[in-house]
Amino acid sequence: MHRDDIERLLTSEELIEPSPGFAASVMSAVRREAAEVAPIAFPWRRVLPGLVLVAAGLVTGFALLIGAFVGTPASEPSATTWTAPVWLSAGRLWMLAGLAGSLLVSWLVVRLSRGASDTVL
């Protein structure tokens, strides 16, 4: 079979007609599509800073906890360095800082997410 024959056969096909209700069926599908409410986008811009802060708080807290348990070798106090009172030892100070940080992060997350839900509603 020559190139011309193939080309002639390929171009000689008659068009088929769509079924009578085809256009109506397409338009029904399009109307359904148009009637669908667009999904509400998750407020990532508002939530992301909170998530980052939570992650940072967790990492810091975890590091502090490990630090408090492992401890560091005590160095000799010198006359020029400030010595913390006994109740404010290095471990406890870090734990307090960690607790304060966690509370701050929790407060921020609650505040940000409340703001986001107010916007959505």
Residue among 21 and 85 whose Cβ is closer to other proteins: 21
The reply on whether position 18 binds other proteins by CB under 8 A is yes
Name which of 35, 29, 54 is nearest 104 in CA terms: 54
Q: Are 91 and 68 in contact (CB under 8 A)?
A: yes
Give the x/- contact pattern for other proteins in 29-68, rule: CB under 8 A.
xxx-xx----------------------------------
Q: Which stretch binds other proteins (CB under 8 A): 1-9, 53-61, 90-98, 107-115?
A: 1-9
The reply on whether position 22 binds other proteins by CB under 8 A is yes
